[in-house]
Amino acid sequence: MISRENLKEIEDFLFEIPAEFRKEMKVPVRIYASEEMLEQIVGDRSLEQLVNVATLPGIQKYALAMPDIHQGYGFPIGGVGAFREENGVISPGGVGYDINCGVRLLRSEISIKDLEPHLEEIMEGLFHEVPSGVGRGGKFVVRGSELDEVLKKGVLWAVKKGWAFKEDKECCEEAGEMKAADPKMVSQFAKKRGEDQLGTLGSGNHFLEVQRVVEIFNKEKAEKLGIFKNQITVMIHSGSRGLGYQVCADYLRILQKSFQKWSSELIDRELIYAPIMSEEGQDYYGAMAAAANYAWVNRQLLTYLTREVFRKVLRGKVKNVKFPLVYDIAHNIAKKRVHEIDGKKVKVCVHRKGATRAFGPGEKDIPERYQDIGQPVIIPGSMGTNSYLLVGREKAMQETFGSVCHGAGRALSRTAAKKKERGEKIRQDLEKRGIIIKCRSMRGIAEEAPHAYKDIDEVVRVVSKAGLAEIIAKMEPLGVLKGD
Amino acid sequence: MKRFQVLEHTADLKMRVFGNTLKELFQNAAFALAVNQKGNSEFKGECLIKKIKIKAKDQNFLLIDFLNQLLFLSDTEEKVFGEVKIKRLDEKNLEGEAYGYKYRELNLEIKAATYHEIEIKKEKGTFVAEIIFDI
């Protein structure tokens, strides 16, 4: 058990468990959090898990925890670990089952006063047109070589089909097309699961939210992002669906069989890994990148369906109904990239599990239009709470391999959340605040209730105070479509 | 005898499954999975029979791989496989038939059964296993 005494304060909002804490640790553990948050953080196994991560071969600098950290398996959720390519490891548990679970933000020229009279109809429309995919398939069935195209080309496939604009591809992390994707490394099982799930939301904490921008923190940068006060925005949170889950399960299984080749000891079964340069490691990376592309296409098709609903409902009533993409980020992914470590350029594989890329101004990976201000970072709140738009800062590049938190992080278990408050009451409370919830089951609402999560405002405040990202805007939900 | 019990877990679904024999443990694990997917234990109507054949390193992995196979079938056949007849079960092999039933809507989307701390134990003559499902 790790307690507060084991944590050393490095600076405001940054704590460390030194490498001496356990002899197998190769690097320290660093945690971005406020003092108050630490009490909750030491209450579960997330720090133990991070200590385990710090023992893995080839890990560089620190095993990192973001303020929304909570216990996962293997890697905690809200964790970041970068491993040197030549002698380090890649671990499916460091990415998660939902490969490229991520979120995107769409902006519009519409303001709240123009949308308000039509909000109920919009939410009804979204409820009917956007499939949850839980036991019901999607509208886009894609098989065989076409599915391989999706896996290889990602959002480029959607552009060719007319379901995405060129700008949608530009404003997506990796341009929605990870070049390392190898459809041959995705099993037939995974492909079968993915065939009819494109353009489906999925359940759990996935959602599609219509929002209003309620506060601007930096007017100049907000303008560059196309954001203004009282603007209507849409946030879509979803991942790679059954295809991604199967890829993760497949490779966890493959690695179980191969593990003896490179080690006899495993500190935690879910932390199973392969050397990045091994055949298995490369195969997993290729499959993971393909699943990531699938998720980007998924979010793109959800965008297409959303745009169609707005266009249909608002036709003749509101002008200029376009919803351009601000940005799309992944928060469960592994990325190979060169980072500067102790003055040298090192090629590493950065695992972000429940963590978001946050590159600062001037980084070549971000779209030209955002070069001056830094990469947009979208942090969704849990159901009924605020969401945030930030931009990455140089300090993140130096300290966290360009990473920040991904959201609020769970505080209560699903059973505890359900015991605390019934779904119907929560729906009523939210509706009293003017938030429309569309969801097929009350159980889903109770499990995802705001009180089940950590405080998003606090989480975002910490990453901002720690200098990792700058808050640009805050959004409030008007209507939420949940997967189940 | 109780077939399964849902336990506390912050983000995922944690279950404890029981069985008088190992076969029963596996069968109850399949039942527990399907009940949570469907939201009830009413498996009726026409059923789809799928053959199951799994090989794994040991029985702990066999149990998890078995459940993941059921999840794969569930997703692709759009049924819940709440009943399983196991014909062969030894240290590394499982063979049998899974019976899939229709549902109108799923109660819960379960991504996968994880290997997390999986260990089939014997407590007072009963086989017990704790399984964490990613949801």
| Interface probe, candidates B7, B10, B102, chain A, greatest A C-beta count within 10 A | B10
Report yes or no on whether pTM surpasses 0.90: yes
Pairwise CB contact (< 8 Å): A252 & B115: yes
Pairwise CB contact (< 8 Å): B109 & A483: yes
Pairwise CB contact (< 8 Å): A484 & B103: no
Give the nearest partner residue to B106 out of A70, A134, A193, using CB atoms.
Answer: A134
pLDDT of residue A433: 84
The C-alpha atoms of residue B49 and residue B66 are separated, in whole angstroms, by 15
| CB contact at 8 A, B130 and B7 | yes
Give the nearest partner residue to A441 out of B9, B78, B107, using CB atoms.
Answer: B107
| A263: Cβ contacts below 8 Å, ≥ 6 apart | none
- From the candidates A118, A206, A406, A451, give the one annotated as an active-site residue: A406
Residue A234: closest CA among A214, A205, A210: A210
What three-state secondary structure class fits B129?
Answer: strand
| CB contact at 8 A, A389 and A214 | no
The neighbour count for residue A247, using CB atoms within 10 Å, is 30
**Residues on chain A touching B118 (C-beta within 8 angstroms):** 269
Nearest chain B Cα distance for residue A436, angstroms: 21
| CB contact at 8 A, A249 and A97 | yes
DSSP per residue, A159-201? HHHTSS-HHHHHTBGGGG--TT--GGGS-HHHHHHHTT-BT--
The C-alpha atoms of residue A353 and residue A98 are separated, in whole angstroms, by 10
Nearest chain B Cα distance for residue A196, angstroms: 9
Pairwise CB contact (< 8 Å): A245 & B111: yes
The C-alpha atoms of residue A208 and residue A104 are separated, in whole angstroms, by 10
**Residues on chain B touching A202 (C-beta within 8 angstroms):** 109
Q: Which amino acid is at A128?
A: H
Q: Where are the alpha helices (DSSP H) in A266-328?
A: 279-314
Pairwise CB contact (< 8 Å): B105 & A134: yes
Q: Please confirm, yes or no, whether A406 is among the known catalytic residues.
A: yes
pLDDT of residue A213: 98
Nearest chain B Cα distance for residue A134, angstroms: 6
Give the nearest partner residue to B8 out of A202, A411, A416, using CB atoms.
Answer: A416
Pairwise CB contact (< 8 Å): A135 & B134: no
**Residues on chain B touching A443 (C-beta within 8 angstroms):** 39, 107-108
ipTM value: 0.90
Task: Give the pLDDT of chain A (484 residues) as one tens digit per residue.
Answer: 899 999 999 999 999 999 999 999 999 999 999 999 998 899 888 999 999 999 999 999 999 999 999 888 789 999 999 999 999 999 999 999 999 999 999 999 999 999 999 999 999 999 999 987 666 678 899 999 999 999 999 999 999 999 999 999 999 999 999 999 999 999 999 999 999 999 999 887 789 999 999 999 999 999 999 999 999 999 999 999 999 999 999 999 999 889 999 988 888 878 899 999 999 999 999 999 999 999 999 999 999 999 999 999 999 998 888 999 999 999 999 999 999 999 999 999 999 999 999 999 999 999 999 999 999 999 998 877 899 999 999 999 999 999 999 986 655 566 666 666 677 777 788 888 888 988 776 666 666 766 666 689 999 999 999 999 999 999 999 999 987 6
